[in-house]
Amino acid sequence: MATRPSVLVTRRLPPAVEAVLRDTFDVTLSSDDAAMSPEALQRALGSVDAILSTVTDRFTAEVLAAYPIRTRLIANFGVGVDNIDLPAAHAHGIAVSNTPGVLTDCTADLTMTLLMMVLRRAGEGEREVRGGRWMGWAPTRMLGRRVTGRTLGIIGVGRIGRAVARRAHFGFDMRVLGYSPRAVPGPELEGCGIELCPSLDTLLAASDVVSLHCPSTLDTRGMMNATRLAQLSPGAFLINTARGDIIVEDALVAALDSGHLAGAGLDVYRDEPAVARRLLGRDNVVLLPHLGSATRETREEMGFLAVQNLRAFFAGEELPSRVI
């Protein structure tokens, strides 16, 4: 029998996915289900044919400088690949795949969850009830902002941005503005209810709520800085289910402190799992623990898509979702 490709799986995955992996490859499963250290990643790069990685595995240029490298494919469990230095991987002859599509709806659903929670003060309200501080209904108590009919600005009109737009436009009657540097107007965006803005400035100034759906790249890291936040209309809200480092956290806190920003809903953070102390104490900020794709169904589909990429790679076939 031909030897099976060796695959290191860095984190525990849904049992059905692990079963398929065991049936197909010579698999090493992570034993402690914690983020792998740079040293452990380097050891893996030298010893296995492929690595099924997640967002918590940081394949920096230093890690990828391991020698010798045996790994030929990093199959990332997630659509974002900012945890992998792509030029360095390419330079070492390592292919990279991801899991787009299967997590679009879940992430869009979670974006709407954050939006609703922030504008309707749901996190704050829940804390009040659980804390035994609720003194009863009153006409002027804990008033949030109406969601229906507001203007939502979507930065990044790819799969997830468009799925959010559909929910907001057709479900909540929102006016939806969109911006991506390379987006072109047409039926695909119009069908999602998106009016494309000519510039980011226009979108920021015209939106009541801005939601981030762009990848973290050299162009977008730190994009939401003090200048950009100041361009938002006073009393606007910011939602982030993309990547934490797109927002400059100090600038976000300052905009919340000054009241220019009315609230924020965050699922992702620059230094996960660390969350800035100055955000933790704020009632107008909803903080979730990177739950975008966290449903049983989606995590299985992500796993199966990663397996398909591994299979195709070792069969010499085209990868279903190759990044490089």
User: Residue 54 interacts with ligand 8YV (CB under 6 A)?
Assistant: yes
User: Residue 103 interacts with ligand 8YV (CB under 6 A)?
Assistant: yes
Find the binder of ligand 8YV among 8, 13, 17, 79 (CB under 6 A): 79
User: Residue 9 interacts with ligand 8YV (CB under 6 A)?
Assistant: no
Contact 254, 228 (CB under 8 A): no
Catalytic residue among 18, 128, 195, 272: 272
User: Residue 303 interacts with ligand 8YV (CB under 6 A)?
Assistant: no
C-alpha–C-alpha distance, residues 142 and 121, integer Å:
7
Beta-strand pair 73-76/50-53: parallel
Residue 177 or 305 with smaller CB distance to ligand 8YV: 305
User: Residue 220 interacts with ligand 8YV (CB under 6 A)?
Assistant: no
**Residues forming a β-bridge with 261:** 236
Beta-strand pair 261-266/95-97: unpaired
Residue 208 or 249 with smaller CB distance to ligand 8YV: 249
Find the binder of ligand 8YV among 50, 52, 55, 194 (CB under 6 A): 55
Catalytic residue among 11, 162, 169, 290: 290
Residue 95 or 147 with smaller CB distance to ligand 8YV: 95
Catalytic residue among 162, 167, 213, 243: 243
C-alpha–C-alpha distance, residues 210 and 237, integer Å:
6
Contact 302, 293 (CB under 8 A): yes
User: Residue 96 interacts with ligand 8YV (CB under 6 A)?
Assistant: no
Residue 103 or 307 with smaller CB distance to ligand 8YV: 103
Find the binder of ligand 8YV among 178, 265, 292, 303 (CB under 6 A): 292
Is 12 among the residues known to form the active site? no
Residue 251 or 323 with smaller CB distance to ligand 8YV: 323
Side by side, the strands of the sheet bearing 50-53 are: 26-29, 6-9, 50-53, 73-76, 95-97
DSSP 8-state code for residue 5:
P
Q: Indicate the SS3 state at residue 51.
A: strand
Contact 296, 268 (CB under 8 A): no
As measured in angstroms, the least distance from the Cβ of 296 to ligand 8YV is 13
Q: DSSP states of 209-246 as a string?
A: EEEE-S---TTTTT-B-HHHHHHSPTTEEEEE-S-GGG
User: Residue 77 interacts with ligand 8YV (CB under 6 A)?
Assistant: yes
Length of the chain: 324
DSSP 8-state code for residue 56:
T
Binding-site size for ligand 8YV (CB under 6 A) equals 9
Residue of closest CB approach to ligand 8YV = 78
C-alpha–C-alpha distance, residues 115 and 111, integer Å:
6
Residue 11 or 150 with smaller CB distance to ligand 8YV: 11
Is 272 among the residues known to form the active site? yes
φ, ψ (nearest 5 deg) of residue 248: -85, 110
Residue 10 or 180 with smaller CB distance to ligand 8YV: 10
Is 318 among the residues known to form the active site? no
Q: Indicate the SS3 state at residue 84.
A: strand
User: Residue 59 interacts with ligand 8YV (CB under 6 A)?
Assistant: no
Binding window for ligand 8YV (CB under 6 A); candidates: 12-20, 74-82, 114-122, 124-132: 74-82
Find the binder of ligand 8YV among 207, 211, 293, 308 (CB under 6 A): 293
Q: Which has the closest alpha carbon to 103: 310, 272, 239, 299?
A: 299
Q: Which residues are designated catalytic? A: 243, 272, 290
Footprint of ligand 8YV (CB under 6 A): 54-55, 77-80, 103, 292-293
